[in-house]
Homo-oligomer: A and B are copies of this chain.
Amino acid sequence: MPKVVDPVERRHAVVDALFRVVVRDGLQRASLRTVAAEAQLNIGSLRHYFATHEELTRFAMASMIERVGGRLRASVDEAGDLAALPPADLLELAVRLLGELLPIDESRRAEVTVFLDFAAASRTDPALRDLAERAAVGMRGFVRLVLERLGSRDALRPGVRIDVETERLASLVDGLGMNAVLHPELVSASDCLDILRAHLGALACP
């Protein structure tokens, strides 16, 4: 017999409500009361699952990081199998992998939007700093892995410095995501993919 209310599911629903508030009105407006209203919960109920505001925001940010990280790991694993591809398809595979971090559809757009607000807040909110750093380090590890797999298949130009290219690509992805979210009329989803393709193409051997 299923429990009447699953605490894990409740927490998840609350986090989802917080994400909706952040996307719509910004993290600044995600108070306990507004999130409770969005989740159709009484604030007392909400506080039964998240005692403080800090606990809620930390859990929400950690959930987001874990969700994205899990998806990236799954994509990498899946791509690992079918990797005996011609160079052209190899690049397109890298585009697909890195595209996971770009706002190319509504759900990813929401994700990047939430990430941006959390990242900006983490600069001055000590409760979020370690999470932001973990996310940044993890993201660079992922970017580096993609580049190294390209390099190990001799798909990269000789002489590229892996450290420089990792940060260049990571910052490009972050910048593209940021601008696509903040200025969708300037940078569309297909612009993101075009530019990412151009970047990887320039990195590949001639």
Contact = CB atoms under 8 A, between A and B. Distances in A.
B120 A198 contact: no
Contacts of A168: 172, 195, 198-199
A54 to B, nearest CB: 15
Contacts of A156: none
Interface residues of A, number: 46
Interface in A119-176: 119-125, 132-133, 136-137, 140, 161, 164-165, 167-168, 170-176
Contact of A175 (B117, B172, B191): B172
Contacts of A181: 123
A149 to B, nearest CB: 20
Instruction: Select the residue from A124, A125, A171 with max chain B CB neighbours within 10 A.
Output: A171
A183 B122 CA distance: 10
A186 interface: yes
A183 B139 CA distance: 13
B121 A182 contact: no
Copies of this protein chain in the complex: 2
A74 interface: no
Given A171-B187, A186-B140, A194 B120 contact: no
Contacts of A182: 119-120, 122-123, 132, 136
A142 to B, nearest CB: 14
Contacts of A120: 26, 116-117, 120, 182
Given A25-B124, A161-B198, A168-B172, 6 more contacts: A132-B182, A133-B185, A136-B182, A167-B195, A171-B175, A175-B178
Interface of A: 24-26, 28-29, 113, 116-117, 119-125, 132-133, 136-137, 140, 161, 164-165, 167-168, 170-176, 178-179, 181-183, 185-187, 191, 194-195, 198-199, 202
